[in-house]
Amino acid sequence: MTLLLWLIRLVLPGLMVVGLLIDSRSQLEADDLESATGLETESAVPDSESLTSTWYCPTAYSRELEVGGVEAQSELVVTNTAAEPTRATIHLISPTSARRLTHIEVPGLSTRSLEVADYTTDELVSALVETPISGIAVSRRIRSTYGSDVASCSSVVADAWYVVSGDTQADAISQLVVYNPLPTDAVVDLSFASEAEAGLYIPQELVGLVVPAANTISIDIGAHVRRRDVLSVTVRARLGRVVVDHLQSFDGSSGRVGFSATLASASTSTSWYHPVARLGEKESVSVVMSNPTDVVADVEVIVVSGEGKVGSAVTSVGPYDVIQMRVLPKEEEALIANTLFTSAESFGIIVESSSGIPIVSGIELGSGPNGWPGKESPKQEILVRTDDSVPMELPVGRESGFSVASGAPGGFRNWLLVLPDVPGEVVVAVENTTSSGATALISRYGKRERYEIELAAFAIQHLRLAAGSTIEVESESEVVVSAVHQEPKGAGLSSILGIRFAEGSS
């Protein structure tokens, strides 16, 4: 017995070491797999090494319901950057009915669209778009009673998504749409931060929320969070991966009217670029910054023009906190906290975390009356709904809108910008993200027009182009591209974000 005990004592440590080595190797392989599958968090047009293209669109259709929800009718916009034609397969997915399948033919170097409302009237619908070739991009023009917006679909699924600009005041509806395109259930946790409190707020009913396989859920933020002007949301999957949209609308009862549809960001970064912003008598700009870490982030917000950097302001964002910085005209300059002043009417914004702490940034663009609860617009600018069963009709000729632009965490040499078929012109912005000059070439699909622009270090150029076309931007150095469109004499302010080409695909 004694000999047996000694043998066990001699062998056991060796077995433990072997077990630890195996466990470490297994963990390393698991980490390698996670790293390999989780590196890509920014959407991109697939390159030639990809045999197919797949895009995930959380909100393709949504009905306004008495218990919450935002009306959203989506036009899917499919762009083929390859010379060969292709056939896109579109799966319409709803938690209340069977999956629907339709197709759309897309010629080479062309864009085609599909009106989702022609195929479904379910309460909530997501879309999965697949093609048998690379080089495809998919975005959406989403319309609501209170305006319209343009949102890209996502070419990635991720385990963390960040929404930086929510509002739950009495005149607002703020909704998340969480889409799980994978064949297994996902489990997500939601956490919130607001400008009024320090730290996270985690509703217990939104912890361990199940998103069924190949399905979608919606979350009315206002049903779980107090009335707040500025709100950020983190959606983190403890199991599986998802794609997240944020829908925000304002009904005019305090003055402001607008609708924003934004694909949440799956990235954090120490730098964010917002190429297009405009200030005017009826136009407003705010920068919103969220810190998803447990360390204070020191942040500089910089205004850039055609000459480069022309002004800045600094602030700090606490752990798990969110702040809003207003951008105001220079003539209003005063000692106001978290405010940036500029004399420029059209400009870009750079947000840099000087302390090296990764953050998330977005900008809010507004037009028309800007009153909110507690600071209402003049009575003649307030809309009154007398019958909730009748859609709101906005005053004829009144321009208004609201849009959130997520920004880009870095520059790239090649971009695609899809300009939907909308009335009037679109303002296109190209921003140089480097400390040296750059030349960018802009070409339009189906046209012989080509524009060459020179950019100083960190400078921006704005161009007015006709809508209803697709443009490609090629640069010798890294730039960021986006656009903005105001519905003429109507409600609808749209931020149109560029979609980068994956390396080697252009």
Q: Which of 385, 386, 430, 379 is nearest to 408 (CA)?
A: 430
Buried b (16+ CB within 10 A) or exposed e, 150-185: bbbbbbbbbbbbbbbbbbbbebbbbbbbbbbbeeee
- Residue-wise pLDDT for 26-41, tens only, equals 333 333 333 333 347 8
Mean per-residue pLDDT, 384-410: 82
Q: How confident is the model at residue 428 (pLDDT cuts 50, 70, 90)?
A: very high
Per domain, the residue ranges of the chain are: 44-501
- Residue-wise pLDDT for 290-329, tens only, equals 999 999 999 999 999 999 999 999 999 999 999 999 999 9
The per-residue pLDDT for 22 is 35
- Judge contact between 296 and 319, C-beta under 8 A: yes
- Residue-wise pLDDT for 167-208, tens only, equals 999 999 999 999 999 999 999 999 999 988 888 999 999 999
Q: Which residues is 73 bridged to in the sheet?
A: 61, 143
The per-residue pLDDT for 217 is 96
Q: Which of 485, 490, 506, 482 is nearest to 152 (CA)?
A: 482
The per-residue pLDDT for 27 is 35
Q: How confident is the model at residue 74 (pLDDT cuts 50, 70, 90)?
A: very high
pTM across the whole model? 0.90
DSSP characters over 202-220: --GGGSSEEE-TTEEEEEE
Fill in the DSSP letter of residue 486.
E
Structure tokens at 179: 């889409």
Residue in the block written with tokens 């996670």: 34
- Whole-number Å distance between alpha carbons of 222 and 110: 41
